Amino acid sequence: MNEDVRISRRDLLKVAGAAGAAALTPSALSAAAAIPAPAAVTLPVVTSAPLLNLTAAETEILASIVDRLIPSDDLGPGALEAGALRFIDRALSEAESSSADAYRAGIAALDRYSRYSRGGAFVDLSPRDQDSVLIDVQSGAATGAGTGFDGSSAAFFNLVKDHTWQGTFGDPQYGGNAGFAGWDLIRYPGVRLRVTDEEQRMLEADALEPARRSAYEFGQFQAQPAPSSNGSGDGR
């Protein structure tokens, strides 16, 4: 995948992330952006230590997938820096516990397909080849040599993609969006209970300071279980 294609794909993810952030209203959130450029921060990235629900090897493959879906680049931190892995691990321990087996099976199937079609483990491929594998998985074309996806490979792709978006752009209370990195990336002005006329004018002039706070800092909102994917399997 060439650079222009990768950037266009990332821009698409930013748009989708903005829609996802808007959809995560307080009534749907679990217990916890920006116009100016975010301040330089160092965000921890866990790529090999096992999560609670996955082995170290499974975590490393998942981290590579997540990193290609929303990579870190000159636009800002990516999904790994935003804590998407932590969000996914929490989801698999709570509202999405029924998806844990689908993750394990899908990760194993993706790696088998990578070895069969590209001659190497997914984590060892170049970014270009990783993207090409993911495109095959997304389109449902990842078949052959007993790959072993449970149904269409696209269902696994959409499951991980949905959770990656939620973990990057959702309310930090879920365990992702570390340091509000996701909201900064999509220039989200933050959760507000009301917007004054002056704030609206400042927003339209790209001069509104972001409200970098969780919805659950407002006393009227109570913690809910972590959000689940919509289960449609079509990525919407």
Q: Where are the domains of the chain?
A: 3-217
Q: Are 185 and 75 in contact (CB under 8 A)?
A: yes
For residues 39 and 130, what is the distance between their CA atoms, to the nearest angstrom?
A: 31
Residues 212, 111: Cα–Cα separation, whole Å? 38
Tell which residue, 28, 8, 4, 43, has the closest CA to residue 168: 43
List the structure tokens of 222: 């109570």
- Return the amino acid letter for 207: A
SS3 61: helix
In this structure, the chain runs to a length of 236
Residue 204 has a CB neighbour count (10 Å cut-off) of: 9
Whole-number Å distance between alpha carbons of 106 and 69: 16
Residue at token pair 């594998």: 133
With CA atoms as reference, report the closest residue to 235 among 154, 176, 141: 154
Q: Which of 138, 140, 189 has the alpha carbon at shortest distance from 164?
A: 138
Gap between the terminal Cα atoms of the chain: 24
The CB density around residue 125, as the number of other CB atoms within 10 Å, is 19
- pLDDT tens for the 236 residues of the chain, in order: 444 444 344 454 444 444 444 333 333 223 333 223 333 334 444 444 567 889 999 999 999 999 999 998 887 888 998 999 989 998 998 888 899 999 999 999 999 999 999 999 999 999 999 999 999 999 998 876 677 787 789 999 999 999 999 999 888 877 888 887 877 887 877 777 677 777 677 767 776 677 776 766 566 666 555 556 554 444 33
Compute how many other C-beta atoms are within 10 angstroms of the C-beta atom of residue 42: 8
Beta carbons of 141 and 172 less than 8 angstroms apart: no
